[in-house]
Structure 1
Amino acid sequence: MGIRDIFENDDDSHRLPIEAPGLRDTVQTTGTWGAAIQRQKYFTGPLEVLTELNKQMPAQDLAVGLDQLAMLSRLRSMLDASEAVLMADTYELFARGVALQSNGDNRIQAEDEPTPEQLAEMGVFADDILANLSAGYYRVTPHDQEIARSSFVAEASIAMRDTDNHISNKLIMAEGLRHLCLETLNALSAGEITTQTAREIIKNAQDLETEDVHRMEELLLPFAKHASDSAVRQRARRLHEKMHPKPIDERHKDAKETRDLRWWMEKDGMAVAQLRGPAEDIISVVNTVEHHVVSNVDPEDPRTRGQLRYDTLRDALLDGWPEGGGSTLKTKVAVTIPAVEMLADPRKALADLEGYGPIPIGTALKLAADAPSMLRLLTDPWSGAVIDVDRKKYRPPQALRDLLRFRDTQCQFPGCNRLPERSEVEHIDDWAKGGGTNRTNTKLCCKRHQMFKHALGWNYTYLPDGSVMWRTPHGQTCIEIPGSVTSVQNFDFNADRTPQRLDIELTDRVRKVLGYEFEEPPEVDAN
């Protein structure tokens, strides 16, 4: 169980826009010809990959070994797709049997508690007699779909040697893939995406309308075939927030009621505390502690960064802020407010809290109202990429750092989530070899992954659309897309489509929102 799962997992197949079990189309309703096509589509692929792997000799070369690992990863995705199809279809057969029993002439109400003789006269078999008597005792209905579902999960857990929780989550994912997100299922079956990516898509399909789920697939799958699981998770969550039929400010207000502090014991005399609350509060607490730790570095202090964070927070809560008098630190919270979206539809507009993701626009405006300064950003309305920053206040080097901070949002190494504060401006073409210090030759990269490039033989190429293609020392490639990009539909990784500054009509209303009400917007060199 991951740390996020300590708070209850609220995933539920009822929150997916699919029909009730027992009423869904599956392979059993398509006839012999349809069954053959389905078998070829979802079950033959893994055998082909396995056969290909079986033909190859054990890896004698590192690059060959990495290629074989990539094949195994693809095989795992294909097998998980096969498992999802089989699980969903098996449960559908099970649900149909339950529905038939529930609607049959021999259905017995639990509360009736008839005698065995009465049941026998009605043609109910001995096993069914015992089942009905037990149901009456426990006041449950044997043919209730939820009761039956829990029974199926228990049986599947035994068959698959797994926990009920894990199998229940697998079943939700299987139903979502089989009966709703067919494009995601097909991509998983082809080994084009990972199982974790498919899981994120299904998880974030909850509470949405069917057409919105399909739109989410359309936007996410081009990303998912190239990006890391963590990058897909962030984009899926943002799309879910944007497409949710209930405004985020209302959901945020309801969610605040779940704020809580929980703790549990661990071995070796340790315990863990978990704080749940509004993102703006949690980020402020974390940033305040982090700022204090960074600002009070003692080279003689043997404690790790994590130990310093804990000790700072512990001292503040139990002994008062270090040196007394409480904290005088100004918490640093960065918020991006999409002005054009806010003007178009304030109820649908989402702001972005750095280090967290989407928050209600009302919360963002309150944070902005208390901010000591404001940094203006220009984003591409079509892709979401940050393409320019206000340079009137800062000298160009600072403006460039601001641009990368909001364009990339984190270290641009595949799967790395280090925030801008823990990353540095990295030249793609080395400065010593003539590489310029501009937005087309720089990106955010943490020190660890800079070391990968400079010492371990990793390399990367800045592509015309703003993404970065990483190449491992033995030829594996991965495309990392800037974190601010929300759509790659118009991206072509091989064509010159770098997001450019757009000509936007600055009406009086737009000027006011952007802060240009009494001044002309500054002229900015796009490079």
Structure 2
Amino acid sequence: MAEALAVSFAELAVVLRGGAYSSGSGDADPLRRVADGFLDGLAEISRLEAKSAALKVWLAAGYSAAAEALAGPADSPQDHTGQEMAVVAEVACALTVSERSAGALLSEAHALTASLPLTFSALRAGTISWQHARIMVDETTNLDPTGAQALEAHFLDPHVVNPARGPAGELIPGRFRHKARTWRERHHPVSIERRHTRCAADRRVEYSPDRDGMAWLSAYLPADQAAGIWDRTTTAARALQGPHEDRTLSQLRADTVATWLLTNNSAGGATDGVPGGTVDVPGETVGMTGTAGVTGGSGATGTAVGGGVPSPRAQVLITVPVMALLGLTDEPAMLDGYGPIPPSMARHLIADGAESFHRVLVDPRDGAPLEIGRTSYRLTKAQRQWLRLRDGKCPFPGCSNYSLDNEADHLLAWAHGGTTGISNLGQPCHKHHRLKHTSAWKPTTATKNEPPGWISPTGRHYASEHPDWEPPTLPAPETTGALCTTPP
């Protein structure tokens, strides 16, 4: 491995000499060649960092195994613990890190070399980063070997059945964690209902003092309650924005929450109070999909396992497989801005606040949305729903801004002959919408089922993240029998 790393360093030197430090007298634009050389160098350095991390993992795992062999079998559990502590302390001193960091490295090294061969190989090849490898270790924790191998194969084996769309290494770590967590929730051997019921018992609020007279206040809540609080807070904060308001949106959120909690405008009160007045947060039509799904408005209550606390009225997009909606399967629903939620939570969100419904058909082969019904058809609203189902978030690579905060945009401007069809529409967040109009960054074309990519000012193409649709789960025949009647 050390030899391979040395070769990579030599390749990087060639890149830098050939690109950044050669004026290229025959090149029409030598400055462009220099800029491209530096970008190529940055990309190569990123691959070298991954390969270096793989070498570090290999060395750590090797030392741990050698130290265990040298120590011999432990005579008691106490001796075994002492041997582990000695190894951790040795590695910590050698790397000049804390024993906690050294212990984490040894644990991750063992998982990668013993249980996650595809991840370790990708790290050695430099196709994923160290952050990606750590996320894979984290998301496979507590899975049985078969489940861990399936999760790893989904993202790193292109020949597996229904592989992830796009290489894992092209996702920023935060987005990769979201997709890995989503897949894990869908395929976990224990149903999400049981896991949610168990974890909801740990809900709590935590307080942590910080510097400069500040402190952190955080809450661990069921996802529907947390998402509802966040969306309601954002809506109330935006209502306060205006030409005479100099506070940022983040400051307005903080002030709004503090006002709600410290005055009569409490979370469970009858008014949606905000500093200086009240705000009515109307329900908005939202999407739910299945083999024949429905769409409903939000403003629902929480589940019983969350203590019976209602989620405030808010804009929420949920995608629910129809069989799960009917209670025939346990496959998760999807809550926009969060990820998989128990189907019982989705049923509560629908039953306790949905104001209107639209049919959403999905492809039973892969779960991709096919058609939005025309029951209450208005072109702009239907197209907006389709964009939210197609993209899930801002399509700019690495951006995690979710649908409700994004802005519909013509990829080819209307003034230049662009249509208002789905294939010519995107939904970038405000930041990347502004980037499109104030720089040389330009979106590529889209399709009904794929969001647009982006072309940078240097001419490089960056693909957008594509949702990993999956075919819905069908209930067992004995379960569906109650839904059918046969003629005598």
TM-score interval, normalised by the smaller of the two chains: 0.7 to 0.9
Contact 2:423 2:446 in 1 (8 A): no
Where does 1:68-87 land on structure 2 (aligned, <5 Å)? 68-87=41-60
Superposed CA deviations along residues 311-355 of structure 1, whole A, max 9, x for unmatched, are 111111111229x963365323222101256679613x0101111
Superposed CA deviations along residues 93-123 of structure 1, whole A, max 9, x for unmatched, are 223334x242xxxx5x6xxxxxxxxxxxxxx
**Structure 2 gaps, min length 5:** 22-33, 157-165, 273-279, 282-312, 484-488
Mark the structure with the bigger radius of gyration: 1
Q: Which residue of 1 aligns with 2:399?
A: 416
Q: Which residue of 1 aligns with 2:70?
A: 97
- Measured after TM superposition, the shift of residue 168 of structure 1 is 2.4
- Measured after TM superposition, the shift of residue 426 of structure 1 is 2.3
Where does 1:195-344 land on structure 2 (aligned, <5 Å)? 195-221=130-156, 222-321=166-265, 326-327=271-272, 329=281, 330-339=313-322
Q: Which residue of 1 aligns with 2:424?
A: 441
Contact 1:435 1:441 in 2 (8 A): yes
Count of matched residue positions in the alignment of Structure 1 and Structure 2: 413
Between the aligned partners of 1:471 and 1:248, the Cα distance in structure 2 is 39
Question: Is it true that 1:480 corresponds to 2:415 in the alignment?
Answer: no
Contact 1:227 1:480 in 2 (8 A): no
Structure 1 pair 89/360, CA: closer, same or farther in 2 (3 Å)? same
Contact 1:337 1:350 in 2 (8 A): yes
Q: Which residue of 1 aligns with 2:9?
A: 50
Larger mean CA deviation between 51-60 and 212-221 belongs to 51-60
Q: Which of residues 344, 353, 357 in structure 2 aligns to 1:362?
A: 344
- Report SS of the residue matched to 1:184: helix
- Measured after TM superposition, the shift of residue 229 of structure 1 is 2.2
One-letter identity of the residue aligned with 1:141:
Q
Between the aligned partners of 2:54 and 2:470, the Cα distance in structure 1 is 26
Contact 1:375 1:390 in 2 (8 A): yes
Structure 1 pair 153/345, CA: closer, same or farther in 2 (3 Å)? farther
Between the aligned partners of 2:373 and 2:84, the Cα distance in structure 1 is 56
Between the aligned partners of 2:193 and 2:113, the Cα distance in structure 1 is 33
One-letter identity of the residue aligned with 1:237:
R
**Structure 1 gaps, min length 5:** 1-41, 110-139, 489-501, 514-527
Q: Which residue of 2 aligns with 1:18?
A: none
Structure 1 pair 341/184, CA: closer, same or farther in 2 (3 Å)? farther
In the superposition, the TM-score normalised over structure 2's length comes to: 0.78
Contact 2:89 2:99 in 1 (8 A): yes
One-letter identity of the residue aligned with 1:247:
S
- Measured after TM superposition, the shift of residue 431 of structure 1 is 2.6
Q: Which residue of 2 aligns with 1:66?
A: 39
Superposed CA deviations along residues 3-37 of structure 1, whole A, max 9, x for unmatched, are xxxxxxxxxxxxxxxxxxxxxxxxxxxxxxxxxxx
Q: Which residue of 1 aligns with 2:110?
A: 175
Q: Which of residues 331, 335, 339 in structure 2 aligns to 1:353?
A: 335
Contact 2:359 2:375 in 1 (8 A): no
Superposed CA deviations along residues 202-243 of structure 1, whole A, max 9, x for unmatched, are 211122232222221222235304333222111100111122
Larger relative contact order (CA 8 Å, sep ≥ 6): 1
Between the aligned partners of 2:50 and 2:61, the Cα distance in structure 1 is 16
Q: Which residue of 1 aligns with 2:372?
A: 389
Question: Is it true that 1:453 corresponds to 2:436 in the alignment?
Answer: yes
Q: Which residue of 1 aligns with 2:307?
A: none
Q: Which of residues 94, 106, 120 in structure 2 aligns to 1:159?
A: 94
Between the aligned partners of 2:117 and 2:88, the Cα distance in structure 1 is 23
Between the aligned partners of 2:103 and 2:366, the Cα distance in structure 1 is 36
Superposed CA deviations along residues 370-398 of structure 1, whole A, max 9, x for unmatched, are 12233433333444433432332131111
One-letter identity of the residue aligned with 2:252:
L
Contact 1:241 1:248 in 2 (8 A): yes
One-letter identity of the residue aligned with 2:350:
A
- Measured after TM superposition, the shift of residue 468 of structure 1 is 3.5
Q: Which residue of 1 aligns with 2:288?
A: none
Structure 1 pair 384/198, CA: closer, same or farther in 2 (3 Å)? farther
Between the aligned partners of 1:264 and 1:50, the Cα distance in structure 2 is 44
Between the aligned partners of 1:148 and 1:467, the Cα distance in structure 2 is 53
Between the aligned partners of 1:240 and 1:486, the Cα distance in structure 2 is 14
One-letter identity of the residue aligned with 2:468:
V
- Report SS of the residue matched to 2:256: helix
**What RMSD, in angstroms, separates the aligned Cα atoms of the two structures?**
2.9
Between the aligned partners of 2:66 and 2:375, the Cα distance in structure 1 is 66
- Report SS of the residue matched to 2:382: helix
Between the aligned partners of 1:299 and 1:452, the Cα distance in structure 2 is 23
- Report SS of the residue matched to 2:20: coil
Structure 1 pair 317/189, CA: closer, same or farther in 2 (3 Å)? same
Contact 1:387 1:407 in 2 (8 A): no
In the superposition, the TM-score normalised over structure 1's length comes to: 0.72
Larger mean CA deviation between 206-215 and 393-402 belongs to 206-215
Larger mean CA deviation between 252-261 and 47-56 belongs to 47-56
- Measured after TM superposition, the shift of residue 278 of structure 1 is 0.7
Contact 1:208 1:243 in 2 (8 A): no
Q: Which residue of 2 aligns with 1:468?
A: 452
One-letter identity of the residue aligned with 1:468:
P
